[in-house]
């Protein structure tokens, strides 16, 4: 992450916006059956990876020419808001992403930085398709989500673009749910 941020700053002279999107779901075991290595892998990618992204992006945005400025969007999950059986490492990591987002927003508010999160529902991605093919409970959850309609990656991208725009200049520390109304049930 340090190298990626350094490269962006070297190429563009500053870092104005960043969207952090990384996630692995895990094996889908109950907590008592989850291996420590599986827990550490999911937490490492989903939460530690997010921390490292934030750390280096914030450092660059604080050092922007003309003073601190920028917007960061962390992709969490609706599973960061509710419990999803068999996905304890994933849920814990995405709950953690929301905590990191709120903490960073509080630490850097008033310093020209805005930091928000998006909580996607079931989105038509290779991760969801692969999980649904190998685990019947994921396929059932996917059919139940948002009336059986899967969200599209472009819908999440549009929300991220808006959160990085001047139109969202008064939005900070929020967790925007983009799930077709699934969490409201």
Note if 90 is an active site residue: yes
Q: How far apart are the first and last CA of the chain?
A: 37
Mean pLDDT of the chain: 91
Which residues pair with residue 176 across a beta bridge? 118
- Give residue-wise pLDDT tens across range 15-45: 999 999 989 988 889 999 999 999 999 999 9
Residue 157: predicted pLDDT: 97
Q: Residue 139, Cβ neighbours under 10 Å: how many?
A: 15
Q: Residue 147, Cβ neighbours under 10 Å: how many?
A: 10
- Domain of residue 58, CATH code: 3.40.50.720
Range of the domain at 102: 2-178
Residue 126 is assigned to a structural domain of this protein:
yes
Residue 163 is assigned to a structural domain of this protein:
yes
Residue 185 is assigned to a structural domain of this protein:
no
Nearest to 128 by CA among 101, 156, 100: 156
**What's this model's pTM, rounded to 2 decimal places?**
0.91
DSSP reduced 3-state for 152 = coil
Residue 113 is assigned to a structural domain of this protein:
yes
How many structural domains is the chain composed of? 1
- Give residue-wise pLDDT tens across range 73-89: 999 999 999 998 889 99
Residue 124: predicted pLDDT: 82
Residue 117 is assigned to a structural domain of this protein:
yes
Nearest to 70 by CA among 112, 102, 111, 107: 112
Residue 48: predicted pLDDT: 98
Residue 183 is assigned to a structural domain of this protein:
no
Of the residues 26, 90, 168, 179, only one is catalytic, namely 90
Q: Are 31 and 90 in contact (CB under 8 A)?
A: no
How far CA 127 is from CA of 22, 27, 110, 130, 135, in Å, comes to: 11, 12, 37, 5, 12
Q: Classify each residue of 26-64 as buried b or exposed e, where b means 16 or more C-beta atoms within 10 Å of its C-beta.
A: bbbeeeeebeeebbeebbebbbebbeebbebbbebbbeb
Residue 120 is assigned to a structural domain of this protein:
yes
Residue 30 is assigned to a structural domain of this protein:
yes
- Give residue-wise pLDDT tens across range 112-159: 999 999 999 888 877 776 666 666 666 566 666 667 778 899 999 999
């Amino acid at each position: 992450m340090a190298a990626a941020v350094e490269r962006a700053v070297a190429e563009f002279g500053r870092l104005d916006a960043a969207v952090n999107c990384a996630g692995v779901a895990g094996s889908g075991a109950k907590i008592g059956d989850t291996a420590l290595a599986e827990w550490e892998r999911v937490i490492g990618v989903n939460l530690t990876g997010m921390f490292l992204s934030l750390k280096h992006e914030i450092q660059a945005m604080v050092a922007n020419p003309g003073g601190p400025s920028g917007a960061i969007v962390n992709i969490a999950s609706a599973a960061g808001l509710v419990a999803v059986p068999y996905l304890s490492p994933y849920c814990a990591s995405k709950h953690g992403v929301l905590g990191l987002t709120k903490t960073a927003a509080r630490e850097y508010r008033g310093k020209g930085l805005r930091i928000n999160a998006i909580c996607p529902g079931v989105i038509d991605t290779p991760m969801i398709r692969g999980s649904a093919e190998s685990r019947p409970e994921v396929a059932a959850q996917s059919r139940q989500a948002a009336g059986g309609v899967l969200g599209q990656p472009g819908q999440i991208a549009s929300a991220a673009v808006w959160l990085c725009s001047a139109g969202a200049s008064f939005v900070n520390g929020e967790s925007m749910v983009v799930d077709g109304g699934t969490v409201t049930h």
